[in-house]
A and B are shown apart, each in its own frame.
Chain A
Amino acid sequence: MNLTLKAFVKKELTQALRDVRMRALMFGAPIIQLTIFGLALSTEIKNIKLAVFSGPGDAMFGRVADGFYSSGWFLRAGHAPGEDPYELIASGRADAALIAPAAGLARSAERGGGRMQLLVDATNATKARAVEAYARNIIAAQAAREYGARDDAALKFDVRVLYNPAMESSMFLVPGVMGMLVCLITIILTAMSLTREKEMGTFETIVSAPLSNAEVLLGKTVPYILLGLADAALVVAAGYLIFGVPVRGPLWQLGLAALALVVTTVSIGTFISTVARNQQQAMLGGFMFLFPAILMSGIMYPVENMPRAVIAAAYLDPLMYFVRLIRNIMLKGGDVHVLWANLGALGLMALLAAGLAYKRFRQTLN
């Protein structure tokens, strides 16, 4: 390796890793965040506080209510006799209330209309939708039990879920979050590192050395590409070991995808640092890239579900290509078309970003 590049790598890594707090942030924080995503966040709605209201001795309704509570999704929300269900939901003591018909469920069902009422707190629309879907399934199952097996429907679905049969949220969230974390760390580090040198004045020393522009640029980027790749490896290992997220595709594909992403983000970070005059500006500039990039990446919201204009913008988002790549490689085992199409797009972005950074960088030097 070139002597200068070696000196840069050593210097940048020493600076980035000397401070314990910096080390913790670079390697500890991703693990913590991954853990939060993997453990705490779930797209499955659980622990819904349900209150039930019925007349005395409504045994059938009691069985329906038991069906809710034994499903695992609902918690029992107690209430005083005669309390208003609306009041119960307004005060937040219940998320939903199931109310039996006045005549009793069994009697009104015999008369041909056993209609219960389900009140749902729709402050959270997604949650409300889930509550209704659960209720539909539970009530249908209970009705089947009450009136004999109704499994004889003329048409049934046999549903199979591929790649993530248990529909675990962590399987879906963790690979995306990996991309997000690597993107975040590399952008912030690079955007700030060059700016800090300019702020401190040490940048003068570097430019006063007989180096070509490319040498300086490589010196300030290669160490961060290495750090970014190390973080990517760490996060993949953590995802695999802690959450059992499988790596079904070949590792070289994963490595190539990570490299393309890291080169792109490091270049963008460097570009930001050439524009920013101080660290605060660098950080804010980093944010202006990171925020939309994360939102449009498909990590949390499916890209296909967005309006056309947003999808068009998402095609400029390097993180979106990476999320597609990593989900495909880790969960689906890597499809040739997905790999080369997205890797090609990401690689093109990496080249473009690096070229742009180089151009801006040269201007700042002179």
Chain B
Amino acid sequence: MNGYFDFHRAYSIARKEVMHIWRDPFTLALALGLPVMLVTFFGYAIDYEVKDIRLAVSDRDKGPAARRFREIFSASGYFQPVETGPAGPVAMLDSGRASAALFIEPDFSKKIKGGGRVTAQFVLDGSDNSKAAAVMGYLPGIQRAALARLAGAAPREPVSFETRFLYNPELNSRWFTVPGLAAIIIGLLAILLTAMTVAREWENGSMELLLSTPVRPLEIMFGKLAPYGALVLAGVFFVYLVSRLVFGVPFAGSHLLYLAACLLFVTAALSQGLLISVITRQQQIAMQLGMITGLLPSMLLSGFIFPVESMPVFFRYFTMLLPPRWFMAAARGIILKGADLGELAVPFLALAILSAGMLALALKKFKTDLEP
């Protein structure tokens, strides 16, 4: 390897890059601020359990049973009854002042008392799907509670089941989002920052200057990328600390394997950033391409929030080309399930192949560009 790669030359480039980062408060702020922001947002702000759904009630019965029926909704903790305006519940949905509406017919109490059958109309705002789907999920529970309290007859259930949630028994959404944040942070920072810094060197001609020295392309790349790799890993370490100490996310697997997964994914992300910069050579385009091929896939197609398995067939295969998908699988496997190397073989191998492929492409393009 000697002659092809000189560590000292790479080191001096890396040192220059560190100075750049250090003197640029924006880069530092984002590199350190983004993990904090994401952790706060996904740790505190987002709760996948939808609560406090504003429910407009049109009670045309006003009898005791109707009142108790309404109480069941508010007591569930999911619904928050709101005052219905003169225009009626549907107008409340139109204007977004309520997300659901309940209609109680005039003879509700009488029918219940007489042991008759009643149907309550329930109208949902489908323009916000995530909410609507959650509300639909709550209705069976409300129905059972209503039957028990109003009709005094809990339905006999000859066949039932009990659920055991493995790895996250309380279905704590933080356990699932916060470990995934590492993928977003690496995907965003590593790809974007490297794509832009290397593109900047091209744009203002300093790449030519570097290349006119005896420094080899591989050394330039290593020197430029290593500081960003370190910065990104610092972000990941921060997320790790917060998820363990603040959110109490368990760590079932091996730390060494997790570190290996992070390093592999960082390599893949840096290679991708490099490839983008070599192709575009212009900061503005590099950035846009970085967002489209880096940020969006990490957030949307990696399984971070939207499970890959629920996607249409084409996308299930397409995501195989995306490093964040593999990292996400590996990270969740290690952290929550305690996966061993055998179970991680596929994601690890995929990450390695993808990094090698992108790096090779970048180097090839880099070299062909140098020849006149």
Question: Interface on A for B, CB 8 Å cutoff?
Answer: 19, 21-22, 25, 29, 32-33, 36-37, 39-49, 64, 86, 89-92, 95, 98, 105, 109, 112-130, 132-133, 135-137, 139-140, 142-143, 146-147, 150, 152-165, 167-169, 171-173, 184, 188, 192, 196, 276, 278-281, 283-285, 287-288, 291-292, 295-296, 298, 300-302, 304-307, 310, 324, 327-328, 331-333, 335, 337-338
Contacts and interface: CB of A to CB of B under 8 A. Distances in A.
B30 A119 contact: no
Among A161, A167, A168, the most chain B Cβ lie within 10 Å of the Cβ of A161
Given A89-B166, A161-B126, A335-B96, A42 B311 contact: yes
A39 B315 CA distance: 9
Contact of A335 (B95, B116, B159, B200): B95
A281 B160 contact: no
Given A41-B311, A122-B169, A306 B197 contact: no
B122 A160 contact: yes
21 contacts: A86-B166, A90-B343, A109-B158, A109-B159, A115-B162, A124-B332, A125-B176, A126-B48, A126-B176, A135-B161, A139-B160, A155-B119, A155-B151, A156-B117, A159-B136, A159-B139, A163-B126, A280-B197, A296-B41, A327-B127, A332-B93
B133 A25 contact: no
Contacts of B215: none
Interface residues of B, number: 108
Given A29-B292, A46-B309, A122 B96 contact: no
Interface string B274-318: 000000100111011101100010001101011101111001000
A343 to B, nearest CB: 14
A156 B169 CA distance: 31
Interface string B321-341: 000000001001100110100
A161 B132 contact: yes
A278 to B, nearest CB: 8
Nearest to A98: B161
B163 A132 contact: yes
B19 to A, nearest CB: 14
Interface string B147-169: 10011010101111111111111
B45 A117 contact: no
B285 A25 contact: yes
Contact of B117 (A116, A154, A279): A154
Interface string B46-73: 1111111010000000000000000000
Interface in B339-369: 339, 343
Contacts of A118: 161-164
